[in-house]
Structure 1
Amino acid sequence: MSGSSEPTGNASWNVWGRRWPEWVPFAAGGWGVLYAAVQVTWVMAEVDVRWAPHVSYPPAFHLLLAALAVLVALVCVATTRDFGRRVRGVLLVSLGATIPVSVLGMASLPAHVVTLASSAGVESATGLAQVLVNAVGTVLLVLVAIAYRRRLRGRCPRCGQKHPGAGDGPLAHPRAGIASKRTRRTVYILMCGLLPWAGVKTIWTLGGDALGVTAEGWREINAGGPGAVEALAAVGIDVTVLAAAAGVFLLLGLMYPWGQVFPRWTLVLAGRRVPRLLPLLPAWLAAVSLSVYGIFLMIFAPLTALGVLPNPAIAPPFTTTSGITWMIEFGGLAFGGLGLGLVAAARSYATRTRPVCAAHLPVHRPADASQFGSVTAK
């Protein structure tokens, strides 16, 4: 294990970062107050905020979200104080119940990212703002819940290990390693869900017909789009398939050592440790929304095919009900497979890369010391 001294210029920043369990509850509390103010402002100004392209938030729901945000702000601040067992349980349950609401509010984040990346513009600026605010809240609330749960279990709220003293010193990071064989097998199987969806879209883009959709109909529906999208389509690449390929790249990085230490082809970054949140944050944010959306589509398609639910309306470029139903199912397999794959890979990555407080490692974790390759001041 090699040590590294703390840069003087970055001392205050490093200390601030190390003490995130102390200030995150207050940051989450501030977010809750700001979120409530935004919701009330939108209601008073009669602003149309879209949850989906054709679905707007009703005013009453904005007010409900505002009230919930104020309550969760109080809960977050309360986690910094000592209470009895019953109150502690109520606080933890309250956080666990609030996080899914925030997650649902950011469910369309991947769709917005793809739209922006393809230069297609923003369908609803207020809708995007709502999604981003919910995404920030989700991250903060999860961090509060993690730190509070660790504290209740008598563990260091920062690293999750049992050790005496404060957890604001340097961290020891594990050596780069590969995900377990079971995780890799699971992720690769889930990735196969992309094949039918990506295959059909590639056939259309290359000029073929499939599921009752002709190449000409596909070109017409996508005509007049952003230049980047048309340029990719000209060489047989659909922009959403390209976005899925970026998701696959993230999946591979989460499973293999080059996602923990920058490889040679990254040039100036080669050999440096990859910041842990760099792949984890987008992975978790995308995983939850993609999983929920994909599972919904996988359930919806067969229910419509069996007549339990009404058949989806036929809209160009589709010409048959069966064609659009199959495409919905393919989309569910693709989004659900990618989302659940990200969950499995991100969970493995989080476990394999979890650092521990270095000051207590040699004394309290002697058997595990060999697996930690470096000590950093972060």
Structure 2
Amino acid sequence: MPLKPHETYAPAAQFALAALAVLGDAAAWATARPLAGPGRAVVSAALAAAILVFGAGALGVTEIVVTLVTLSGIESATGAVHALLNAAGAGFLLMAVVAFRRRRRGGCPRCGHPHTGASDGALVHPDASMASARTQVAAYVLMCGLLPWAGLKTVWTLGGDALGVTAEGWRKLNEDAGAATSLASVGLDASVMAALLGVFLLTGLMYRWGMVFPRWTLLLSGRRVPRLLPLVPAWLTGGALSVYGVVLNVMALLSATGVIPAFEPKPPFTTSADLTWMVWFGGLAFGGLGFALIVAVRSYAARTRYICAGAESAEAAKTAEV
């Protein structure tokens, strides 16, 4: 399975990944069975290893989404399928871990609250609500990291020069980027537009319209937003962007302080200093948006956490007794 046109995993690595997938599957199955101390330790270790490996393999999902949104084309269809399967596998294993932890604590594996009876009955969802003021401030402050990076790209796209890069040089760099070229012709940068989609997701996580479809969604207006619809892309995107942003920031810092060799300038950049600034701006943008999404998605997950109808009835009965 080629990850890129001229890049693939070695056969031994493929077999190792397949074996780990089977091991993770067996561990997920075992979480619903009674386990003693050593058994719990083995299952936990197997799940942790599988989630780390397949989660790392899913880091390219954000790049795939960006190329699809901007109509830039996918470098390798099989590589994209590989990354998406990694993301799906890591996500389902993580759900198994959450259910496992809830069972160990005496809670319902689905809603997390302790109650008697089956865990496959009706669900009670909370009313739509906004994120706390502290969450909103933190998310918006982190989101400001986009400004230097998006500002530079917008200047270049609109025909200006900045950071030693001319508009002509920037145009030549992106002249074979498919739909990105068309967007640039009207003063829009494809990556900035993709970042705005991330901002749209971020705001939806913090406001009521992210829990109940607003009026402008027409046929969906007033219906509850499926909980996983924003949670899955937010966790995937936030996790990938935050890791990528941290890496870029560390590289820029090490290069600027001379710990590692200075970046070799490549067109359209003419000096290593200018390229270092751009790497740092990219780190601020990706890391800022990634951590902002993580802050917002944690709030959204807590505000949309449902409860089984049986658990709610039990809580109501206890309140009435008091």
Using the size of structure 1 for normalisation, the TM-score is: 0.80
Offset of residue 346 of structure 1: 0.6
Residue in 1 that maps onto 2:257:
306
After TM superposition, give the deviation of residue 64 of structure 1 in Å: 2.6
Q: 1:177 aligns with which of 120, 124, 129?
A: 129
Q: Which residue of 1 aligns with 2:80?
A: 128
**Offset from partner CA, 1:53-90 (integer Å, 9 cap, x none):** 98653444333322322222221222222121231133
Q: In structure 2, what is the equivalent of residue 186 of structure 1?
A: 138
State the Cα distance separating 1:103 from its structure 2 match: 1.2
Q: Return the match for 2:229 from 278, 296, 301.
A: 278
For the 8 Å contact 1:174–1:355, the answer to whether it is kept is yes
Matches for 1:189-338 after TM superposition, within 5 Å: 189-226=141-178, 228-338=179-289
How many residue pairs were aligned?
320
Q: Give the structure 2 partner of residue 38 of structure 1.
A: none
Runs of 4 or more above 3 Å deviation: 53-60, 365-369
CA distance in 1, matches of 2:30, 2:102: 15
CA RMSD of aligned residues (A): 1.9
Could you tell me whether the CA contact under 8 Å between 2:245 and 2:287 is conserved in 1? Answer: yes
Where does residue 376 of structure 1 map in the other structure? none
CA contact (8 A) 1:92 1:149 kept: no
- Given that 1:201 and 1:238 are in contact with CA atoms closer than 8 Å, whether structure 2 keeps it comes out as yes
**Contact 1:176–1:261 (Cα < 8 Å) also in 2:** yes
| Contact persistence 1:103–1:289 (CA under 8 A) | no
**Residues 1:118 and 2:73 are matched in the alignment:** no
Does the 8 Å CA contact 1:194/1:333 hold for their aligned counterparts?
yes
Unaligned 5+ residue runs, structure 1?
1-41, 43-47, 370-378
Alignment check: 8 A CA contact 1:103 1:288 kept: no
Contact 2:23 2:46 in 1 (8 A): no
CA distance in 1, matches of 2:20, 2:35: 22
Q: Does 1:94 align with 2:46?
A: yes
What amino acid is the match of 2:159? G
For 1:368 and 1:100, how far apart are their aligned partners in 2?
42
After superposition, what is the alpha-carbon deviation per residue over 1:78-110, rounded to whole angstroms, capped at 9, x for unaligned?
Answer: 222212123113312331232121111011111
- When the two structures are superposed, what TM-score results if normalisation uses the length of structure 2? 0.94
Contact 1:287 1:342 in 2 (8 A): yes
SS of 1:49's partner is strand
The one of 332, 342, 355 aligned to 2:306: 355
Q: Is this contact kept in 1: 2:115–2:314, CA < 8 A?
A: no
Query: What is the identity, as a one-letter code, of the residue corresponding to 2:40?
Result: R
Q: Which amino acid aligns with 2:302?
A: T
Structure 2 unaligned segments of length 5 or more: list them.
Answer: none
Give CA deviations for 1:204-244 in whole Å, capped at 9, x if unaligned: 00111111110010111111332x32232122110100000
The one-letter code of the counterpart of 2:199 is V
Fraction of identical pairs, as percent: 55
- Partners of 2:267 and 2:119 in 1: CA distance: 58
Deviation sequence 1:154-211 (CA, Å, 0-9, x none): 1000001011111111110001111111111110111011011101100100111111
Per mean C-alpha deviation after superposition, the further-off stretch among 57-66 and 281-290 is: 57-66
